[in-house]
Structure 1
Amino acid sequence: MQTEPELSGDPGAFDEWARPSLPAMNRLARRLAPQTDPDDIVQESLARAWRKCDQFDPRRGTATAWLLAITADQARAARRSRARRLKVVDDTSPVPDAASTDHAADIDLERAIEQLAERQQLAVHLHYFVGLTVDETAGAMACSVGTVKSTLFDARRRLRTLLGDTDA
């Protein structure tokens, strides 16, 4: 088993340790908070990880899983912050009836994913868009492999419904 470098107080060691996770952190930030700058989210995530590096326990998962969990938290915080800043422009416009909507034309995958429960969204983003294995996704979500499998199954079933896929 590879031993983890001593990270506390050594920026060079921390940089070397975190660098392999940066592409996955950036992809996750883009997926979870598309209206914000992913570099800002990754930067905040790295700053938080640096402050809490003594809490990392390699027996509980990989560095990437730990850093992605922090990135997911930072992305959620960025989304909440942005939502508080947004003002309703026109709340009188009619909302289309879901039954009368042409699903193939009006509902795309991104909008469908946004309608999933937050935990399902995170599992979908980590597994399908960031490319983590089920085991790595479980580590990033701090749950069991079985929970990830169940969450992904439920998410796929819900997405089929939202996208109007009646063949499944």
Structure 2
Amino acid sequence: MTDQAKAAGPPADGAGFVEWVRPHLPAMSRLAARLAVGADRDDIVQESLTRAWMKRSQYDGTRGSASSWLLAITADQARKAARRLRPVAELEDHDGADHRPDVDARLDVDQALTTLAARQRLAVDCYYFADLSIADTAAVMGCSEGTVKSTLSDARARLRSLLEVSE
């Protein structure tokens, strides 16, 4: 597919659409997993692809890349899936789990991320975990690149204080 065809939008035929979205599937999957912990990320990606197929005529390459359009849809579907999740009862600690500093550190970071404002979490997830550029993160969030940079800076400052990390 030529760059001109990619800018024009998703193909109307199923096979062409599959090829158009294929390069974006890993990022969609990573973002779904980050935004809807506990939900089935494959289901979220499938819902996102269905939504993209149904709304393919609304894609406007002048407003952002295919990646940012697909990831915005994925973020929306992940938020919906997260809202549908019911709290799961915690399991009792039967064996007194072994102390593992690497796991404890990871849990601290994950816990700290949950304390961020929703907009900050979305920016962190898009930029750091889905490997989006600032421009693509801005497109997913529906804001300017400057707002993304400011949001990420605020999120990093908050995480530094929560995790007691010095620069």
- What band does the TM-score fall into relative to the shorter chain? 0.7 to 0.9
For residues 50-71 of structure 1, give each alpha carbon's deviation from its aligned partner in whole angstroms, at most 9, with x where no partner exists: 1111111000000010000010
Identity %: 54
Residues 129-140 of structure 1 aligned to structure 2 (within 5 Å): 129-140=129-140
Give the whole-Å Cα distance in 1 for the aligned partners of 2:39 and 2:152.
Answer: 26
1:78 corresponds to 2:58: no
Which of 3, 6, 10 matches 2:5?
3
Give the whole-Å Cα distance in 2 for the aligned partners of 1:110 and 1:22.
Answer: 24
Counterpart amino acid of residue 68 in structure 2: A
Decide whether the 8 Å contact of 1:107 with 1:163 is kept in 2: no
Give the whole-Å Cα distance in 1 for the aligned partners of 2:106 and 2:70.
Answer: 35
Paired position in structure 2 for 1:149: 149
Decide whether the 8 Å contact of 1:28 with 1:68 is kept in 2: yes
For residues 10-54 of structure 1, give each alpha carbon's deviation from its aligned partner in whole angstroms, at most 9, with x where no partner exists: 111111111110000000011111201110000000001111111
Give the whole-Å Cα distance in 2 for the aligned partners of 1:72 and 1:3.
Answer: 25
Aligned residues: 151
Residues 116 and 81 (structure 1), Cα distance of their counterparts in 2 relative to 1, 3 Å cut: same
Decide whether the 8 Å contact of 1:109 with 1:163 is kept in 2: yes
For residues 72-116 of structure 1, give each alpha carbon's deviation from its aligned partner in whole angstroms, at most 9, with x where no partner exists: 11111001001xx33778xxxxxxxxxxxxxx8796111111110
Give the whole-Å Cα distance in 1 for the aligned partners of 2:52 and 2:44.
Answer: 12
Residues 45 and 105 (structure 1), Cα distance of their counterparts in 2 relative to 1, 3 Å cut: closer
Decide whether the 8 Å contact of 2:11 with 2:20 is kept in 1: no
Residues 32 and 138 (structure 1), Cα distance of their counterparts in 2 relative to 1, 3 Å cut: same
What SS does the corresponding residue of 2:79 show, helix, strand or coil?
helix
Give the whole-Å Cα distance in 2 for the aligned partners of 1:106 and 1:135.
Answer: 28
Give 1:9 deviation, angstroms: 3.9
What SS does the corresponding residue of 1:86 show, helix, strand or coil?
coil
Paired position in structure 1 for 2:98: none
1:111 corresponds to 2:134: no
Residues 117 and 6 (structure 1), Cα distance of their counterparts in 2 relative to 1, 3 Å cut: closer
Q: Which moved more, 1:10-19 or 1:150-159?
A: 10-19
TM-score (norm: length of structure 2): 0.82
TM-score (norm: length of structure 1): 0.82
Give 1:139 deviation, angstroms: 1.7
Q: CA-atom RMSD, angstroms? A: 2.1
Give the whole-Å Cα distance in 2 for the aligned partners of 1:148 and 1:162.
Answer: 21
Give unmatched runs, 5+ long, in structure 1.
Answer: 90-103
